[in-house]
Structure 1
Amino acid sequence: MKKMTLFLFALLLFSSTPAHAAVKKEGSLWQDESVYSIMIDRFNNGDIKNDTDVNAQDLLSFNGGDFRGIIERLDYIHDMGFTSIRLTPIFDNAKNGYHGYWVEDFYKTDEHFGTIKTFQELVKEAHKRKMKVIIDFVTNNVAASHPWVSDASKQGWFHEKQEINDWNNQQELENGWVDGLPDLNQDNPEVKKYLIDAAKWWIKKTDVDGYSLPEVNNVPLSFWNDFSKEVKKEKKDFFLLGIMSKNTSTGLKQYETAGIDSLFDYNYNAQLRKTLATTDQSFSNLYPNVVDSQPSFLRPNFMDDEYSVRFTNDIVEKRQFPGSRWKTALTYLYTTPGIPIVYYGTEIALSGGEIPDNRQQMNFRTEKELIDYITKIGGLRNQLPSLTRGTMEILYDKQGMVVYKRVYQGETSVIAINNTSKSQKVILTAEQLAEGKELRGLLDGDIVRSHGNQYILIIDRDNSEIYVQTEKSGINITLIASLIFVYILVFIFLFFIIKRRKNKKIE
């Protein structure tokens, strides 16, 4: 009797749990990824043995972060839902080249970061967690102290020293010396071969999954055509992420045609920052960037990076609360077409101005509210194919209150973001969403059932909800029948217990 009661009680619990039919993702696509972007030297010091010339009090010096430190924090990154990591350059750098962009040797790791063996371990440990690894590969210039610079036989490897005065002049971009660094001449066949061979060598040697390419628009398109073809032969689905110069408006399409899979768009980033740093801003300026095209699905969605003032600074300047603004911004990044790329420290709302202030050390001893939120929306993005592969349609937009839907193979997600200073009520019609169903909120657990062919959403200020449209739960006949049956069994069970005790007393 007890066993039967327990069985039916378990059945009751199971039948009362709402669930929606999961849509499976076929294969793995880069648009399904979410990337945690790390400046190696500023993330975590895991090996003090390589702390040569380290000064953690000076943002222009090495601060101690290394490969071992990243390995130690892979679970931390993975548990937030990130599926990839992106690292600043790992190559041997000149003195104080903490950022990795002053390359002195393309075939060695920097001694401050660790050995190539430790880096190989990092990649293996990431792959064990089904995480991909992208590293910056510098192609535009080298350090002023690079041996090539003083080698008379390699003078043809560089352009003549000249400043860039017009950042929209492609010839000046390709030939000019950025920040006074010797500019490589990629039109020289020897230079092109050297860079491509080095890029292929690192793939073979370490099994990395992609390269991010700083100053991609400062290098000729002809080089990228050859580079992309050659490196992609080394590994299936190898990913090339182009990073444009911030102060240029060069078109992106030509680099996609040359084989660059995805490109940082700082113009879009500027619109994101303007819209999301404060409340009551229309989302309409962002719409042209969420069209249903492959470049849109692969576009990096980011709020800041190692070249930008931290988004937290924008928020503070607007006298807003960083936690609320970051939650709103991250919800938008994670639920619109594109690959979210989150700069280390975002999860603690790290602040910072211009370089190097935006490259402060990570702090792991801090409150977890924003970490928990990233974990939640990261989990939803990994579970719902509609958020990474679905079409996108705006259903409502009024001065900071926006509702849109993503649809993929029958799965419909509805995202409601209230970026206003007041609670908002939105009515969606049967023309916008299939009638006779319900929306189940996955962030706060809100359930909205259709009434009179309408869905009425109530969203508090500074709040967001991610809904999945499902069949109406209504009255659960199975649940009611199970309850009645359990109560009957419990009554019979108690009746026999009482009767048995009475018989024992009589005896």
Structure 2
Amino acid sequence: MKKIISAFIALLVICFGVVPIQAQQQSWQDEIIYFIMIDRFNNGDPSNDYEVNLDDPKAYHGGDIQGIIDKLDYIKELGFTAIWLTPIVKNEPGGYHGYWTEDFYEVEEHFGTLEEFKNLVQEAHDRDIKIILDLVVNHTGYHHPWIQDPEKQDWFHEDIPIISWDNQENVEDGRLAGLPDLAQENPETRKYLLDMAKWWIEETDIDGYRLDTVKHVPKDFWEEFASEVKSVKENFFLIGEVWHSDPSYVADYAKTGIDSFVDYPFFNEATRIFSQPNQEIGKYMSGIWKRNVSLYENPYVLGNFIDNHDNKRFTRLAIEKDQDTLTQLKQALTYMYSAPGIPIIYYGTEIALDGGDDPDNRRMMEFKDHELVDYISKLGEIRNSHRALTYGEMEVLFEQAGMAIIQRTFEDEIIITAINNTTSDQTVSLSEEVLGENIQLQALLKEKIVTEKDGYEISIPKQSSEIYLVEEGTKQMNALPWGIAVMSILVIGLIALISRKKVIKNRN
């Protein structure tokens, strides 16, 4: 039977010339990440709802691990292949966000138990979803027990604030927001943090860490950290937060062994460009990509995002510019899903959740029907089906203020994304010299075909987008009925063969 199935798949490859992306070996650049602040996502277990106050933006709101388990199918249907969670470790009172550690080895009781977290990881893996856990090694909570321990006074730097952000020593040794700053140069402190990081991998089988406040920790620590944690699990992923607008400054941390970074230079330009119409797209976004290519060994694993828990939500940025939030979000999301890099979607973006500065940008999630849910699902389906969008080179074919046509090419697959972020309908003609002869453009979002008519005319209504698969001109018309006929014959033959084997078995 296995030989029959293998032959069936092989024939499909011959007929259609493609292999399903799920059947090919995946790397982290194939992923699409959903970012969840645990306390603000979904309340699955009311029994841990003490000190919950939905009217206080700085109090616990009841989200927990069980709530995430309950929504794994929802996350899967949206097309996400990985989940990034805010820290789950026990926090001091008021640490709903997870960044005020009280105990590095315990699960915050508001969120659930270690066994529940292990169950979450297993349930996610059963759905082919990876789990990335946020990890903080720069600081503890304000009142951590070590602060009063006479034997651990040298585990912390002096109580000095960060005064100069251009002084790297002050950035690394000063207290961020007044939080006690750990001294990673102390061998005991370093060993504790490394052992702790490895323990969580061994104990729960998580797939990666999102590393908080990377620039506030010495690079030599990250070098040892990367080596140690990657010795525990093959293909373990490290994505760091280096909150800085200079791509060279961010990229310098890649030399430590950290695989990827949340791309703040991308965020800065993408939110500026797509939160309002008539801004140049290709010039700036391709410029970021070209810099990334020159700076990183593998720029395809950088994390692209348009909002997160530390910045105003994209929805609010559009509102402040008197724009329709749904329209601008669709433009930004279309670009992000078709650009090089890993898309990272902050929970609530799929319903255009509003939010200003922290903590307003951390509102409780609402689960409801929304046009963006379907739109993001479609974008996820397209990205998960076309390796040109995860591995392809990038080229801008057309650019004017607010209108851009961008091409991604990988091996023999070509994807073209047309974004019209202007306030008027646009038609762009591309010549055969640009696209080639005897081809057609199969629209993947709105499911239509563009063929050669004195040049290939791409017509995009105002403030909308389309993603095209470039195909041979006769492929769409001829391959489908032929493929259906071949598949029908194969299915009939397979059924007949199975029936014949059953008859022989019964006779014997």
Distance change in 2, residues 1:477/1:48 (3 Å)? closer
User: In structure 2, what is the equivalent of residue 286 of structure 1?
Assistant: 285
How far apart, CA to CA, are the structure 2 residues paired with 1:480 and 1:297?
37
Could you tell me how far 1:434 is from its partner in structure 2? Answer: 1.8
Residue 316 of structure 1 aligns to a residue in which SS?
Answer: helix
User: In structure 2, what is the equivalent of residue 498 of structure 1?
Assistant: none
2:362 to 351, 359, 363: 359
Residue identity in the other structure for 1:58: D
How far apart, CA to CA, are the structure 2 residues paired with 1:265 and 1:444?
30
Distance change in 2, residues 1:223/1:477 (3 Å)? closer
Residue 133 of structure 1 aligns to a residue in which SS?
Answer: strand
Residue 431 of structure 1 aligns to a residue in which SS?
Answer: helix
Residue 437 of structure 2 aligns to a residue in which SS?
Answer: coil
How far apart, CA to CA, are the structure 1 residues paired with 2:392 and 2:229?
30
Once the two structures are superposed, residues 236-294 of structure 1 have per-residue CA deviations (whole angstroms, 9 ceiling, x without a partner) of 11000101235888702221110111112323211111100011100112212223564
Distance change in 2, residues 1:389/1:441 (3 Å)? same
Once the two structures are superposed, residues 81-118 of structure 1 have per-residue CA deviations (whole angstroms, 9 ceiling, x without a partner) of 00000000000000010000000111100000000000
Once the two structures are superposed, residues 144-179 of structure 1 have per-residue CA deviations (whole angstroms, 9 ceiling, x without a partner) of 221111101111100000111111211011000011
2:352 to 343, 349, 352: 349
Taking the TM superposition and a 5 Å limit, the aligned residue runs for 1:167-206 are 167-206=165-204
1:320 to 323, 326, 332: 323
Residue identity in the other structure for 1:288: G
Residue 433 of structure 2 aligns to a residue in which SS?
Answer: coil
User: In structure 2, what is the equivalent of residue 462 of structure 1?
Assistant: 463
How far apart, CA to CA, are the structure 2 residues paired with 1:480 and 1:259?
50
Distance change in 2, residues 1:184/1:479 (3 Å)? closer
Could you tell me how far 1:478 is from its partner in structure 2? Answer: 9.7
1:220 to 218, 230, 237: 218
1:398 to 397, 400, 403: 400
User: In structure 2, what is the equivalent of residue 373 of structure 1?
Assistant: 375
Please tell me whether the aligned partners of residues 440 and 452 of structure 2 are also in contact (alpha carbons under 8 angstroms).
yes
Distance change in 2, residues 1:420/1:121 (3 Å)? same
Distance change in 2, residues 1:93/1:474 (3 Å)? closer
User: In structure 1, what is the equivalent of residue 498 of structure 2?
Assistant: none
Please tell me whether the aligned partners of residues 245 and 265 of structure 2 are also in contact (alpha carbons under 8 angstroms).
no
2:442 to 436, 440, 445: 440
User: In structure 2, what is the equivalent of residue 64 of structure 1?
Assistant: 62
User: In structure 1, what is the equivalent of residue 314 of structure 2?
Assistant: 311
2:18 to 13, 17, 22: 22
How far apart, CA to CA, are the structure 2 residues paired with 1:268 and 1:475?
36
Residue identity in the other structure for 2:221: F
Once the two structures are superposed, residues 379-399 of structure 1 have per-residue CA deviations (whole angstroms, 9 ceiling, x without a partner) of 000011111111111100100
How far apart, CA to CA, are the structure 2 residues paired with 1:328 and 1:35?
19
Once the two structures are superposed, residues 108-154 of structure 1 have per-residue CA deviations (whole angstroms, 9 ceiling, x without a partner) of 00000000000000000000000000010101000122111110111
How many positions carry a matched residue from both structures?
Answer: 461
Could you tell me how far 1:451 is from its partner in structure 2? Answer: 3.4
How far apart, CA to CA, are the structure 2 residues paired with 1:23 and 1:164?
53
Please tell me whether the aligned partners of residues 442 and 450 of structure 2 are also in contact (alpha carbons under 8 angstroms).
yes
Once the two structures are superposed, residues 4-52 of structure 1 have per-residue CA deviations (whole angstroms, 9 ceiling, x without a partner) of xxxxxxxxxxxxxxx9743554311101100000000000000011112
User: In structure 2, what is the equivalent of residue 4 of structure 1?
Assistant: none
Residue identity in the other structure for 1:469: V
Residue 222 of structure 2 aligns to a residue in which SS?
Answer: helix
Distance change in 2, residues 1:170/1:480 (3 Å)? closer
Residue identity in the other structure for 2:403: M
How far apart, CA to CA, are the structure 2 residues paired with 1:103 and 1:305?
21
User: In structure 2, what is the equivalent of residue 266 of structure 1?
Assistant: 264
How far apart, CA to CA, are the structure 1 residues paired with 2:165 and 2:39?
29
Please tell me whether the aligned partners of residues 24 and 385 of structure 1 are also in contact (alpha carbons under 8 angstroms).
no
Moved more, 195-204 or 465-474: 465-474
User: In structure 1, what is the equivalent of residue 110 of structure 2?
Assistant: 112
How far apart, CA to CA, are the structure 2 residues paired with 1:477 and 1:239?
43
Distance change in 2, residues 1:168/1:88 (3 Å)? same
How far apart, CA to CA, are the structure 2 residues paired with 1:32 and 1:97?
33
Residue identity in the other structure for 1:399: A
Could you tell me how far 1:480 is from its partner in structure 2? Answer: 11
Moved more, 348-357 or 465-474: 465-474
User: In structure 2, what is the equivalent of residue 473 of structure 1?
Assistant: 474
Higher RCO (CA-CA < 8 Å; seq separation 6+): 1
How far apart, CA to CA, are the structure 2 residues paired with 1:478 and 1:179?
61
Please tell me whether the aligned partners of residues 23 and 411 of structure 1 are also in contact (alpha carbons under 8 angstroms).
no
Percent of aligned pairs with the same residue? 45
Moved more, 249-258 or 468-477: 468-477
Residue 127 of structure 1 aligns to a residue in which SS?
Answer: helix
Please tell me whether the aligned partners of residues 80 and 374 of structure 1 are also in contact (alpha carbons under 8 angstroms).
yes
User: In structure 2, what is the equivalent of residue 10 of structure 1?
Assistant: none
Once the two structures are superposed, residues 205-264 of structure 1 have per-residue CA deviations (whole angstroms, 9 ceiling, x without a partner) of 000000001110000000000000000011111000101235888702221110111112
Query: What is the CA RMSD across the aligned residues, in angstroms?
Result: 1.9
Could you tell me how far 1:431 is from its partner in structure 2? Answer: 2.5
How far apart, CA to CA, are the structure 2 residues paired with 1:470 and 1:247?
39
Please tell me whether the aligned partners of residues 263 and 305 of structure 2 are also in contact (alpha carbons under 8 angstroms).
no
How far apart, CA to CA, are the structure 1 residues paired with 2:480 and 2:183?
73
User: In structure 2, what is the equivalent of residue 407 of structure 1?
Assistant: 409
How far apart, CA to CA, are the structure 1 residues paired with 2:95 and 2:163?
25
- The structure number with the bigger radius of gyration is 1
Unaligned segments of structure 1, at least 5 residues:
1-18, 482-507
1:382 and 2:378 are equivalent in the alignment: no
TM-score by length of 1: 0.88
Please tell me whether the aligned partners of residues 137 and 214 of structure 1 are also in contact (alpha carbons under 8 angstroms).
yes
1:165 and 2:163 are equivalent in the alignment: yes
User: In structure 2, what is the equivalent of residue 95 of structure 1?
Assistant: 93
Please tell me whether the aligned partners of residues 268 and 286 of structure 1 are also in contact (alpha carbons under 8 angstroms).
yes
1:426 and 2:420 are equivalent in the alignment: no
Moved more, 285-294 or 356-365: 285-294
User: In structure 1, what is the equivalent of residue 485 of structure 2?
Assistant: none
Residue 440 of structure 2 aligns to a residue in which SS?
Answer: strand
Moved more, 192-201 or 25-34: 25-34
Please tell me whether the aligned partners of residues 316 and 355 of structure 2 are also in contact (alpha carbons under 8 angstroms).
yes
How far apart, CA to CA, are the structure 1 residues paired with 2:248 and 2:16?
45
TM-score by length of 2: 0.88
